[in-house]
């Protein structure tokens, strides 16, 4: 899978989290922050991916997140880990 496709999948996951009203507000804001960090082209891709992973890991450990939100976060983290290794 191409890096552009991976990036598209991750940003789609983060957009879904940011727009889903069943997800708590702090998780939606964190997803938006992770997406902004990921799309900031001032840094190399591996740094951006790792920064987004750190944000998402904090969100995944939040006790208030619904199960479907946690699953989406894990999927995004998995894609980001692949992206950071390919850079």
- pLDDT score, position 5: 85
Report d(CA 56, CA 77) in Å as an integer: 7
Domain boundaries, the chain: 3-86
The CATH superfamily holding the domain 3-86 is Ta0600-like (1.20.1440.50)
- pLDDT at position 87 is 64
Q: pTM here?
A: 0.91
Question: Is pLDDT of 1 > 70?
Answer: no
User: What would the pLDDT profile of 19-36 be if each residue is shown by its tens digit?
Assistant: 999 999 999 999 999 999
pLDDT digits (tens, 9 = 90+) for 33-75: 999 999 999 999 889 999 999 999 999 999 999 999 999 999 9
What is the per-residue pLDDT for 84?
79
């Amino acid at each position: 899978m191409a890096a552009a496709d991976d990036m598209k999948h991750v940003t789609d996951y983060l957009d879904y989290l940011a727009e889903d009203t069943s997800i708590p507000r702090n998780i939606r804001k964190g997803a938006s922050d992770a997406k902004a960090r990921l799309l900031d082209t001032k840094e190399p891709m591996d740094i951006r991916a790792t920064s987004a992973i750190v944000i998402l890991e904090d969100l995944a450990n939040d006790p208030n997140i619904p199960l479907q939100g946690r699953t989406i976060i894990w999927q995004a983290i998995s894609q980001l880990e692949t992206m950071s290794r390919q850079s």
